[in-house]
Amino acid sequence: MSDASAPASAVHKQRRQLDRAVVRFAGDSGDGMQVTGEQFATEAAWAGADLVTLPNFPAEIRAPAGTLFGVSSYQLQFGSRRVYTPGDRLDCLVAMNPAALKVHLGDLKEGGLLIVNTAAFEQKNLDRAGYRSNPLTDAALEDRYRLHKIDITRMTMEALEEVALGAREKERCKNFFALGLVSWIYTRPIEPTLGWIGRRFAKNAAIAEANTRALKTGYHFGETAEIFTECYGIEPAAMPPGVYRSITGNRALAWGILAAAQRTRLPVVYGAYPITPASDILHELALHKRFGVRTFQAEDEIAAIGSIIGAAFGGAIGVCASSGPGIALKAEGMNLAVMAELPIVVFDIQRAGPSTGLPTKTEQADLLMVLHGRNSESPVVVLAPATPGDCFFIAYEAIRIAVKYMVPVVVLSDGYLASGAEPWLIPDPKTLRDIPVKFRTDAEGFFPYLRDEATLARPWVRPGTPGLEHRIGGLEKEHITGTVSYDAENHDLMVRLRAEKVRRVAQEIPPTTVNGPSAGDVLVVGWGSTYGTITAAVEELQQEGKAVASIQLRHLNPLPPDLGQILRQYDRILVPEVNSGQLVRILRAEYLVDAVGLNRVRGLPIPTQEVRETIEQLLRDKQ
């Protein structure tokens, strides 16, 4: 089948309508599964579906081929209703080799669609995956799943017979065959992928041609081959009207910084040391020098935060990002910014730990570290985005608060938000709140620690301003004058003032939105990336008539002023977290409520089903 043009469809196949589907592409880390998944997500979004994605890849850049730990996967759930999570159980699994089958088969629903590339099921790969015999010859597999054994490699090679490329390069196009096939099965348009191939391989016509042919061949194979008797339609979701794009959390954080840079007209110094999963923010910002963003790849995590403190002292916006191990190293720098009362923003893209942990897997276990993991009393503002798109607004808000209150702000994102993507209603930047920047220039009555009455912010002075020459530092400051002070009462006062300043950020927090009844049996409290899971579980139960509600905390320090009042309206409080119980501890301590946790620390989001079952258990306990 070397002709890539569309053959007239001779076979009439049935199309079945679905509400939603969960699809996972899995293969070797060199099989291009991330690109395949991303493109399928783009196709699904173009067709109007709502969706959430879950990329999952090994920490090794090129793990040995065929091994279990070298398996890379990309999952997404798309649907005609609001989709909040990448889904728990799979409707369709594409396994490009035996290792991928072994790692992921357990997640496939009984009766689910299983597509395997038979070419990869040779002895060597079976041995590497630890299969004693070829699982494809096991009749049980065919009984349990709708198994399609397809020699994807051979069909790709045949389709590319006339393309002037080496065998190895042709073989690498097989992921596009798989994408074409799944695109047909779920009636997703391949136009966006054709466009992407054209742009991505603009300088290599042969590769562009090969991938185009592979994609189309896969698509037509689904259409014409006798083995597929039906395909699936998913209606466009009812989403707010407007222009959408796909965005990952890391890109959204970067763009939030750019929006703030443009609004304030201040230079941004972004100091960073490479670390998974935060490095993409550095890469993204490095592309946008036109916004006055100066990216600095520092010699280490400490220098990265040091550089942005220097920038903030100079009257620029200082932003840095890291993940847990790097945030630990930044504690000293954050404390200097607390003491010097300089506006900096630190993104913590949390990953699974402790120590190096699981660098490419997600976790929410840095909350207590950023709140309390520094010497002495060290209050900082802490924010947490709920979705990839929300990262844009949170980054912007973090800069706004930092500058307004002269305070360090930490943003807790995580690996799941960082690389996960969602269709995002593009905001009008004009609707973003203003970031008023006031540099002190008047020497009359100037003192470095003379505070604004409303915010308690000290004045921000740009060096270069005549008459305001002054010295600051990490030693305790005398109230107002800012000179070094060892006075006992002054220290007590300054500790209180620094805490009160952070508390006053509460006046920036809008009323908390309650998703569900304003009083009832169970309130589920979420922060960060558990938003989707919680919302999906709670809405399912609400549809069944249960008095269950949820709230999402985007402000973790200070907490929303109305939170205590809300918590008291429900019999039980449930706090699902991808940690051993951190926010739940804070809520119990702050509000004396009997909140309980749902804690899973597997490097993955908590499945919706588990949240649902825990809520149901709480409801049963009540009866």
Nearer to another protein, 387 or 533 (CB): 387
Distance CA 63, CA 77 (A): 27
Q: What is the smallest separation between the CB atom of 245 and another protein, expressed in angstroms?
A: 5
Rounded to the nearest 10 degrees, what angle do helices 174-185 and 205-224 cross at? 40
- Residue 586 C-beta: closest distance to another protein, Å: 28
Reported as type and span, the H/E element at residue 540 is helix 531-543
Cβ proximity of 541 and 612 under 8 Å: yes
Angle at 544 between CA 540 and CA 545, to 5 degrees: 120
Measured between alpha carbons, how far is 534 from 15 in angstroms, rounded to an integer? 32
Here the tokens at position 503 are 């508390």
- State the minimum distance, in angstroms, from the CB of residue 211 to another protein: 17
Measured from the CB atom, the residue of 111 and 474 that comes closer to another protein is 474
Identify the bridge partners of residue 271 per DSSP, sorted by sequence position.
296, 320
CB of 168 to another protein, least distance (A): 30
Cα distances (angstroms) measured from residue 407 to each of 226, 338, 379, 391, 547: 65, 6, 9, 20, 40
Q: Name the strand (E) or helix (H) holding 574.
A: strand 570-577
For another protein, the closer CB: 315 or 357: 315
**CA gap 164, 208 in Å, rounded:** 11
**Residue count (the chain):** 623
CA–CA distance, 505 with 139 (Å, rounded to integer):
63
- Least gap, CB of 356 to another protein (angstroms): 20
Minimum distance, C-beta of residue 305 to another protein, in the bound complex (Å) = 8
CB of 194 to another protein, least distance (A): 12
Measured from the CB of residue 294, what is the shortest distance to another protein in angstroms? Answer: 5
Q: Which is nearer to another protein, 292 or 517 (CB)?
A: 292
Minimum gap (Å) between residue 346 Cβ and another protein: 14
Work out how close the CB of 258 gets to another protein at its nearest, in angstroms, rounded to a whole number: 5
**Among 383, 384, 397, 382, residue whose Cα is nearest residue 427:** 397
Q: Tell me the backbone φ, ψ of residue 275, rounded to 5 degrees.
A: -160, 135
Residue 399 and residue 318: Cα distance in Å, rounded? 9
Q: Is 386 helix (H, G, I), strand (E, B) or coil?
A: coil
Write a three-state SS string for 262-285. Answer: HHHCCCEEEEECCCCCCHHHHHHH
Nearer Cβ to another protein, position 98 or 192? 192
Q: Token pair 């649902």 is at which residue?
A: 612
Whether the CB-CB separation of 382 and 370 falls below 8 Å is answered with yes
- 111 or 473: CB nearest another protein: 473
Residue 303 Cα distances to 256, 298, 307, angstroms? 23, 6, 6
Query: What is the rounded distance in angstroms from the CA atom of residue 601 to the CA atom of residue 606?
Result: 8
Which of these, 195, 153, 194, lies nearest to 171 by C-alpha position? 153
Closer of 303 and 538 to another protein (Cβ): 303
The rounded Cα 88 to chain-centroid distance in angstroms is: 17
Q: Report the nearest approach of another protein to the CB of residue 45 (Å).
A: 7
- Residues contacting 101, CB < 8 A, separation 6+: 26, 95, 116, 129, 135
Structure tokens at 411: 């943003």
Between 445 and 511, CB nearer to another protein: 445
Rounded to the nearest whole angstrom, what is the least distance from the CB of residue 523 to another protein in the complex? 32
- Name the minimum Å distance from CB 475 to another protein: 7
Q: Which is nearer to another protein, 16 or 290 (CB)?
A: 290
Q: Record the tokens describing residue 418, joined without a space.
A: 């960082």
